[in-house]
Amino acid sequence: MITGLDHLVLLCSSIDDAEAAYSILLDRRPDWRSRDSAGSASVFFQMETMALELLAPSGSGPVARRLHTLLDQEGPRLESMVFGTKSINDAHRLFARRGLKPDEIQPGESIDPEHGAARSWSRFRLSDEATHGTKIFILERGEGDPMTYKPAGPAAAATLDHVVINTFSPDRALALYGAKLGLNLALDRSNASWDARLMFFRTGGSTVELAHRLSKGESHAPDKLWGLSWRVPDIEAAHARLQSAGLQLSDTRPGRRPGSRVFSVKSGTLGVPTLILANEPANRAT
């Protein structure tokens, strides 16, 4: 029923500052900008398999007041995951039967004033209680959505490799993302040297990683959206580009996934833990 990760929402205090930061990080221009009269501004970066939405308060409407309250509580952060579907009505019925307590289906529309184009969608939100504190929406894009992926250079982020969610209850998370949401469990591994149990759920070309720190034990505490890993064609080019832009980076290193290399981005992410990842060329010298 879920076709993939449609987009992630990153809540920020200034839409202009966030757009500037993520344009540098991703080496991409925004694909969509819009403002809501209720008090929000959005910028979208459409990637190969999903999109990133930057969301900030704008003006003094009720949505702006609510977003300011959220920012006052915890600051900028990953706020929600939005999964895509091809049939919003069927998805609503299915997730209601599976006990995820969806709210009513709501239509939506936005206009990009720069291009005069419009896009529309229908979506609903699952109960925070049923999703253990992670805000999850299900969305069906309107026909002919104008927001499409545009390939960029080898140093640019092409798409999300995975989003990381911290959980205090891995078996609870396994039941939610596997049995109830229907994502494909690709790997479930515990490693004492990492102090972690990691579960990887694949959907539509992206991965949702659930991470549990073994030393913390298990509890009923809520899950929390935590970090992002972006995939690039050429990791050395991406490292050099971001270093020249003045971002604080780790050195490149072998990733945990065989045949991959990664580096950490320590600034310019609005506080979101961020990893850049690429597969090593097959002919790489050893």
pLDDT(218) > 90: yes
pLDDT of residue 116: 82
Check: CB of residue 83 under 8 Å from CB of residue 140. no
Triad 251, 200, 23: Cα angle to 5°: 50
> CA angle, 36 as apex, 110 and 27 as ends, to 5°?
70
Per-residue pLDDT of 230-242, as tens digits, reads 999 999 999 999 9
pLDDT at 187: 95
Q: Measure the CA–CA gap between 82 and 124, rounded to whole angstroms.
A: 10
Q: What does the pLDDT read at residue 280?
A: 74
Q: If you average pLDDT over residues 179-204, what whole number do you get?
A: 96
Gap between the terminal Cα atoms of the chain = 43
| Best CA proximity match to 229, nearest among 77, 25, 29, 85 | 25
**Whole-number pLDDT of residue 245:** 98
CA dist 58 and 73 (Å) reads: 18
Supply the pLDDT for residue 60.
85
Cβ contact 4:49 at 8 Å:
yes
Residue for token pair 């990733």: 255
Domains annotated on the chain, with CATH? 2-141 (3.10.180.10), 159-279 (3.10.180.10)
Say what the pLDDT of residue 138 is.
Answer: 98
188 vs 100: CA distance, rounded Å: 23
Q: List the beta bridge partners of residue 136.
A: 81
pLDDT, residue 285, reads 40
CA distance 100 to 123: 14
Nearest residue to 128 (alpha-carbon basis) of 92, 102, 106, 104: 102
